[in-house]
Every structure is written in structure tokens, then in C-alpha cells.
Structure 1
Amino acid sequence: MGSPSGPPFDPDDPDRERRERDTESIPRIDPEDGSGYGSGPPPFEGPAPFDEARLGDGPGFADDSRSGRTWIPDPEAEYQPPQISEDEIAGLRADAAGMAPRRVLPLEDEPSSLVARYLFPTERYRGEWKRHWIHLATPLLIGVVATFVLGYLSGFLAGQDVGGLTTVAVLAWFAVMGWVAWRVADWWYDRFILTNKRVMVVNGIITRRVAMMPLVRVTDMKYEQTPAGRALNYGTFVLESAGQEQALREIKNLPNPNELYLRVVEEMYEPQAVEARLGKEADEAKADDGA
């Protein structure tokens, strides 16, 4: 018998151990008892077989000669979404300081009769707002001052026996009060309206004025609050559009400006989220009514 081919054995060869390690046979494991069986044939050929008899019996484990055990789901079972506990989503409901996130204010589901006539059937109503009561501060202050001044003047003139001037003072007071009532009525009919397509301002008692801007044309929006506005929770909205002339740009004295700003921005950038939230609130309301 001839000698094996290859380089002669050299005890001082520095690569001898590496070559022996690289050419060492890989031990195989018997799947039955886990013991090695040397260089015998592999336990299986081709892809790992499953226990096919186990597949029709619903969910459970099937034998897999490659990985041992494999989970087989029930093919007839309906999909069940994962159950998430309140503790797992607590971090989404509160910030790092433990404060709950701010939410937009709830609104009526249907527009008032004053607003409904200006909405077309395919747009979705989101809310309407009257201006903050600070909008009436000047006329109310004038009415109070006029009451005291003209009341004192009427009494003084009545004591001087000049009935004609007393009548003039009383008529002046009625005129001032009529102007104050007109301003209050104008404030009542003045509405800021938001839909899924546009923002509108409707005002006027005898002469109605309707100004609107499509949401798709709003390129920038901001609100401003003076120190008094921050204390009393009102602000001025400024809308910027791509057009040169705008029928609606500045809306003064709107209440809850931060919540209103979030609602308008959400309607501009996340309309699907608005629909999902409103749908969920409607389902909860129906469930409460059914209970």
C-alpha cells in the first residue's frame, strides 16, 4: 500500500494544528436519543418533514425532525387582535411629568340652523364657535358708563326744572342701549365654522357676510395671544394662502385658541385620524344609549 498523498509530517510546522482543526469531521447528533453517530449517513435528506397527520387537528405542536417541535395554528380560527392592557398604553396617555395630554374640546354633532344653510351636502361639519365675550367688552363698558352718566344727568336736570333737556338725556340713553343691543346681537350671529374642506366666518344681521378659505389653500396658520388673551383664553388667528387676495385672513377674539388651532391643523394634515376619532366617539355614544 502506498503512502498517503500530501506533504510529509513536520512537527515544527506552525500551520499543522490549524489544518488538522479545519479538516476535522463534524459530529452528527442522533435525533432519537441525542447521541453522536460519527460519520454515518445523515438522519434525513431534503427538506424537514412535518407530521402531516397533525395539521388537520387544530392548533398545536407538530414534530419537526429539523427543529424538534413546530407550532401549527388552527386554519379555521378567526383572527383575534392582540389584547393591550391599560398599563401598557399608560405612557401614551400621559407625558413624562405624569400630565395627561390635552384634547380638543367636544362639539355638537350637528350644525345650528344659522350655519347649516351655508354647508353643502358632501362636506363634513366639524364645529362652530362664537367669538370670545371680550369681543363685547367695549360696547358693554360704554353702556355701563352711559347708564351712570346719563342717569346722573337726568336727575340733575329734573331738579333744575328743565324738562326738555331731561327728555334729551333719556333719549340719548335709549340710543346708547340700542347700539349696545345691536352689538350683542351681531356678536351672537358671528360664527367661525370649520368643516373637512374649508374654514368660514359668517356675520351680519341685516347684511350677511360669508367669507371662506379652502383648507387645501392654507399655506400657513398661526394664532397670537396678548397677555390679556392668555389670561382670559382668547386669541387672534392669522391664515396665509397662496393667493394674493384673501377673503379671510385675520379672525380676532376666538375662544380656546390652542384647542381650536390643534383641531384645524389636525383637519388639514390628519383627516383620517379625525374620522377615526369621531367614529369611535359615535360608537361609544351608541353603546351607552343601548346600555
Structure 2
Amino acid sequence: MGGLYEPDGPEEPGRRERDTEPIPRTRSEAHSSSDDDTFVGRAHVGANVGGGSGGGGGGSYDAPDYDDLPEISAEELAGLGSDGPISVGPRRVLPLADEPSSLVARYLFPTERYRGEWRKHWIHLTNHILVGAVATLVLGYLTGFLAKNTIPGLSIIAVVVYALIMGWVAWSVADWYFDRFILTNKRVMVVKGLITRDVAMMPLLRVTDMKYQQSPLGRMLNYGTFVLESAGQDQALREVKNLPNPNELYLRVVEEMYEPAAVEARLGKDDEGDG
């Protein structure tokens, strides 16, 4: 029959090139095919474009070497998920603490929901530690000086002064340890003091403006100063210096002020996940 292809008959010019071209695939077939078949098909088309005699083109084309492409494992791709080190979703705040410390729990009433407490950044102790270090160096110098020269009473005075300075440094460190900034669903608080205790608080409903400030050093070491305004009036808690992670803390306070339902929902999900 004249319409059928005869393999033993004479070949027409360009028939071989047309017969070896890949058959177009549908979208579903293309997705279901393996990666090896896709690479072979691309390389085959590239070879026909560059060396085909029926096309009449004068240029040459080098097919890319797909064997040199890097392989990406499933573990590497898993890092791009929302739970991996690279977050592609919305920013999420750190998990909330479950229970207040014994120092803070005594100042919370039963229906108040605890959100977290923070000590001041270690930069708060820089001056105290420097004074202690300088005092230690001076005492070492005096010890060497007194070893060569006997001066009555000077060694006793030096030791007493050094003990007083180091006692002041130890007191400052202990005071820093017990100094806390506290956030609940009702208010923000500052508790400080060892012998005399100072407790200051401001209801969240009365906060009309809040901001935090960071110096260049504060941006490098991740600390800042919080400024709270309350209807233009003077209040006991207005400026809190040297708080760590100011951006994280700022988001915590703002979310508690404007989206308390979102906080409760996140806490509910965390409780379900732990159960």
C-alpha cells in the first residue's frame, strides 16, 4: 500500500533526522518520566540541532554535560523547610517559658498569665568587672613594692581597700542576678534589690507608646534600652536599660498588647504538641 512506510525502500533525504526526533510529551508524561530519560532526551535533541544535515544551519551547538551537575540529597533540601535552619515562612518568636522563678512567682496573682522574665545583659557589669581587675593589678604592684620597702600599716590598708572593692563587685554581680524584667498578659514589671526590694510595674492597657534604642555597641552585642510611655504621665517604670535580645522582647510585648489571642493560640498548640 502506498500510504505505509517501507523499511526496505529508498530513504528520502532528511527522513532519518525526522524519525530520530523525540516525540512531544504531555505535561503529565513529562513529570512522570525519570531524570535519566530527561537528560538523554535533551542530549539527543542537542546533538540533532548541532549535527543534523537536513536543517541546513551553519552554526554548531555543544550539548551541555548533565553528568557534571551537582546532586542534592533529600537531607539538604529538608533544611529549607519551616523547621530547618533556614526559615522561609513568617518570623517566629522564641518559645515562651512555662513557669516563673521563685523570685518572680511571689509577685504574680493567680489569674495572671506569666510570659517570661529576663536578666539584664552582661554589659551591665562591665564597669564593675573593670574596677575589680584594676584593683587586682594595683594590689599586685603594691605587693611587689612592699616586698622591697617596709612601710608600717601600708600593707594592711591595701588589703582592706582591695577587700572593700571586691566586696562591692560581688554585691553588684548578685544585684544583677536578682534584677529581672517580667512580662505577663496584664503588665510589665521590674524587680530589683537584695536587701531593699524595689518592684515597679505598668499595666499593658496604660502603655501608649513603647520603643527600644540600640547604640552601635548594643547592635553588635544584642542589647538595648526600653522606653515606655503612659499617657504623658510620670511612672515608676519608664526606662529599662541593658535588656538582652531587644527585638525579640519588643515583639513579645507588642504581641501581648495587640494580639493576645495569637499568644494564647500559640501556647495552646505548644501544649498539644507536648502532649
The TM-score, its normalising length taken from structure 2, stands at: 0.67
**Equivalent of 1:134 in 118, 123, 126:** 123
Distance 1:183 1:98, change over 3 A: closer
Q: Report the equivalent of 2:231.
A: 242
**Equivalent of 2:106 in 113, 117, 137:** 117
**Equivalent of 2:184 in 192, 195, 202:** 195
Separation in structure 1 between the aligned mates of residue 105 and residue 208 of structure 2, nearest angstrom: 27
> Is residue 2:218 matched to residue 1:229?
yes
Q: Report the equivalent of 1:14.
A: none
Q: Report the equivalent of 2:147.
A: 158
Question: How many residue pairs end up in the alignment?
Answer: 194
**Equivalent of 1:265 in 245, 254, 257:** 254
Give the deviation of 1:167 after TM superposition: 1.4
Distance 1:199 1:98, change over 3 A: closer
Instruction: Indicate if the aligned counterparts of 1:103 and 1:259 stay in contact, CA closer than 8 A.
Output: no
Give the deviation of 1:98 after TM superposition: 7.0
Listed one character per residue, the Cα deviations across residues 99-126 of structure 1 (whole Å, up to 9, x for unaligned) are: 5543222242000000000000011000
Tell me the amino acid that sits aligned with residue 251 of structure 1. Answer: V
SS in structure 1 at match of 2:118:
strand
**Equivalent of 2:168 in 161, 176, 179:** 179
Tell me the amino acid that sits aligned with residue 270 of structure 1. Answer: E
Separation in structure 2 between the aligned mates of residue 268 and residue 138 of structure 1, nearest angstrom: 35
> Is residue 2:185 matched to residue 1:214?
no
Work out which structure has the larger RCO, using CA pairs closer than 8 Å and 6 or more positions apart in sequence.
Answer: 2
Identity of paired residues, percent? 73
What RMSD over aligned residues (CA atoms) do the two structures have, in Å? 2.0
Larger fraction in strand: 1
Separation in structure 1 between the aligned mates of residue 129 and residue 88 of structure 2, nearest angstrom: 38
Separation in structure 2 between the aligned mates of residue 99 and residue 177 of structure 1, nearest angstrom: 50
Tell me the amino acid that sits aligned with residue 202 of structure 1. Answer: V
Larger fraction in helix: 2
The structure whose Rg is larger is: 1
Instruction: Indicate if the aligned counterparts of 1:154 and 1:170 stay in contact, CA closer than 8 A.
Output: no
Tell me the amino acid that sits aligned with residue 245 of structure 2. Answer: N
Distance 1:165 1:100, change over 3 A: farther
Separation in structure 2 between the aligned mates of residue 280 and residue 273 of structure 1, nearest angstrom: 11
SS in structure 1 at match of 2:241:
strand
SS in structure 2 at match of 1:139:
helix
**Equivalent of 1:102 in 91, 94, 99:** 91
Separation in structure 2 between the aligned mates of residue 256 and residue 152 of structure 1, nearest angstrom: 40
Q: Report the equivalent of 1:289.
A: none
Separation in structure 2 between the aligned mates of residue 114 and residue 98 of structure 1, nearest angstrom: 36
Listed one character per residue, the Cα deviations across residues 233-283 of structure 1 (whole Å, up to 9, x for unaligned) are: 000000010152211000000000000000000000000000000110111
Q: Report the equivalent of 1:26.
A: none
Separation in structure 2 between the aligned mates of residue 158 and residue 217 of structure 1, nearest angstrom: 64
Listed one character per residue, the Cα deviations across residues 202-259 of structure 1 (whole Å, up to 9, x for unaligned) are: 0000000000000000000000000000000000000010152211000000000000
